[in-house]
Structure 1
Amino acid sequence: MSDSVYDRYGRPVVVGFVVVLAGLSVASAYLRVSSAGLAAAGDALISLYIAGVVVWGTFREGYDTARFRIALYGVLVLWGSADLIAGSEGALPYLFLIGGLLLIARESYAHAGARDDPAESD
């Protein structure tokens, strides 16, 4: 077992920071919905999704996996979709939506290629 300085002190600090930020994200989503009503529901759901993905990555999955990256890239798709549904007419929602979809496709393709690589199974 490794007893590096990061394992002893750094990891608990990172985990604590992630938990605090996730808590702030949940509180922010609640305050947004309570002050703006259903108009802020999309943004609140996206905030909750981000908090959930980061907490999941911290405690369960790890940050260096294809599933985590795909879930994180999904945030871009959600942001772009929510902005387009809300009626935003700028280029940024399209950039988020298309960019997120391309990142998901690239990560999925790379993950499927690595899984099907016959050189790795020998």
Structure 2
Amino acid sequence: MSDSLYDRYGRPLVVGFVVVLAALSVASAYLRVETAGTAAVGDAIVSLYIAAVVLWGTFREGYDTPRFRIALYGVLVLWGSADLIAGADAPLAYLFLIGGSLLIAWESYSYTRERRKPVYER
């Protein structure tokens, strides 16, 4: 019974919420560039990438796939890179860049290791 209630009401509610949040992210990216100019382009690109990844995961890929997780970890790398390019020499930017790269490497390694297992072990 709970599965049918979720399929009927929950999934459309979650999808609608994700679409609203993605639209807000795109609008905030536009307003950020409009007010701050070229200094905010890096942050706007990160916001647009996050919105695109979440929409892609919602409508196309799903959230529990290696490709989605790698794209999501790419947000950390992009965020750290944007901060470093903008000149913010903060430890958090390095943490995002290095941590995101390590997460991408780990997910890629886990995915290829899982694919090499025999079918009866997956």
Query: Which TM-score bucket, shorter chain as reference?
Result: over 0.9
User: Which residue of the partner structure matches residue 81 of structure 1?
Assistant: 81
Question: What residue in structure 2 maps to residue 95 of structure 1?
Answer: 95
Q: Which residue of 2 aligns with 1:48?
A: 48
1:27 aligns with 2:24: no
Counterpart of 1:91, as a letter, is: P
Shift, 1:77, TM fit: 0.2
3-state SS of the aligned residue for 2:8? helix
Residue of structure 2 equivalent to 1:115: 115
RMSD between aligned residues: 1.6
C-alpha separation in 2, matches of 1:3 and 1:87:
49
Query: Which letter maps to 1:64?
Result: D
The Cα of 1:118 is off from its aligned counterpart by 2.4
Q: Would the alpha carbon gap of residues 34 and 116 (structure 1) be closer, same or farther in structure 2, given more than 3 Å must change?
A: same
TM-score, structure 1 as length reference: 0.94
Deviates more, 1:26-35 or 1:2-11: 2-11
Structure 1 gaps of 5+ residues are none
In 2, distance between residues paired with 1:89 and 1:28?
Answer: 24
CA–CA distance in 2 between the matches of 1:41 and 1:23?
A: 18
Calculate the TM-score normalised by the size of structure 2: 0.94
Q: In structure 1, how many angstroms separate the alpha carbons of the residues matched to 2:3 and 2:83?
A: 46
- Determine the C-alpha separation between the residues in 1 that align with 2:68 and 2:42: 22
Q: Percent identity?
A: 75
Question: How many matched pairs?
Answer: 121
For 2:44, give the aligned amino acid: A
Unaligned 5+ segments in structure 2 are: none
User: Offset of 1:3 from its aligned partner?
Assistant: 5.2
Runs of 4+ in 1 over 6 A off after TM superposition: none
